[in-house]
Structure 1
Amino acid sequence: MKIVKHSGAIVNFNRSKLKQSLLKSGAPIEVVEDVLQQIEKEVYEGISTKHIYKMAFALLKKTSNSNAARYNLREAIRLLGPAGFFFEKFIARLFAAEHYETKVNTILWGNCVSHEIDILFKNNDVITMVECKFHAGRDATTDVKVPMYILSRFNDLKDKKHEIFSKNDIISKCWIVTNNRFTADAVDFAKCSNLNLMCWDYPKGNNLKNRIDNHKMYPITCMTTLTLSEKEKLLILDIILVLEIVNNRDDLEKIGLSQGRIRNVLREASELCRVMKI
């Protein structure tokens, strides 16, 4: 059975790959098998992966909002756009969850020109700059030109003292983070230049998805019990994470939710952030 990917590429339907993505949602194996069986009855030659995803999401949502929310994670990160400002805040919170001291959108003077840095974090007196590359399109990739450009900015900043967390801080490391993927050339160039990369599935075992799951740092945009408009209102209130509304009714009341809706939202938030084994 041939299916069509977002990029237009035609590939074979892979039951095993779909099963793994469903299991990563936290759904029990019996639910996953039932979803797979229902999808297999509906797939046809030339069906799009987008259509398959929508079917899987709808079927998961019938059994558990939180499982559907986890399954929707990559799309939820895309909804932190379109400009990427909220994505930068989200990544800063992710580093903060790992006990790093962070700052966002800081302007620093280099040896040649000034630079606006998306994120700076401090860990054991080591200062790292982080540049975020957000893509609104699902199939867009970050190519080698991006790490080449960011390396030049890093070189302009790294040997100079800055007032960041203290008066004489020196930036000694650089990360580049994207919500999609890096090309092979971008990865090779970064390795050669001692730049750290993080994207949806790189590096293996410590990528963006792994870190989100490990720390339960799910973006508010993955919630299934909130409308798109309600999510946007929470983002404007600087509510970026699901964790930030667990046991907190105030911000949900601010955006006009009824008491019944608030109970449903808090139930999903609590289930989503619960410790889970996959």
Structure 2
Amino acid sequence: MDEEKYPEVQGGGSLILAWQIRNKRVLVVGGGEVAAGRILNVLNADAKVTVVCPREGLNPEVAYRVRKGQVDHVDRKFEPSDLDDVDMVLTAVDDPEASTQIWKLCKERKIAANIADVPSECDFYFGSVHRDGPLQIMVSTNGKGPRFANIVRRSIAETLPKNTGEAIMKIGKLRQMLRKVAPGPEEGPKRMSWMVRVSDAYSLEDLCEMDEEDMATLLTYYSSDQVPRLDCLKATKGEFDGFDGSFGFFVGWG
């Protein structure tokens, strides 16, 4: 029956996305501890950040980022004109009435907003994030238990190998190099298939051990659609004097 073939819809969740806000303009209203966390999140995503808050309301971390020029600072309370040319708004102030007013203004202008500690006035939530270089893992409780999300996130992070982020960076570098070797769009399916086999053939430790010369050597096998084992790959560079060309040189024949 059809109902047994397809996943059951589970409403009440959020659509979890990797939102690209590089060079987008983000307005942060407030300068306390919560604002400091929000600011770091969006700076890590390479956003352009403006903080609106009286100077005396800045906590040490936010004041530091202002001094270092990491954010622009407007030394006063929020005004509606602050929303001009803004792509995202984050509020973290101890004034529910003012926060709701900012939320309503954002809705009128169709600006995505997050009103701290008011789930009903949020277009999106901040989850608990584990970061290891290019690897990001977010745990969300859909606004119901932020502190518990931290516990789950730490539990997940403890199960990951310590070199996971470095291995992912190596895979990213190899993909860039492959696109130069086989740039045509018609190569797309083969590139994807070959990279899947590379990812399956090499462990995290193997990937971390690779340097650019190893990657360049590996790419010479792309045209023949082959994936050598790492020891065989290095043997072609003369790193293993005992290599005799025995059967079993390649893995992942497809």
TM-score range, shorter chain: under 0.3
Larger % of strand: which? 1
Greater length-normalized contact order (CA 8 Å, ≥ 6 residues apart): 1
TM value normalised by structure 1: 0.25
TM value normalised by structure 2: 0.27
Larger Rg: 2
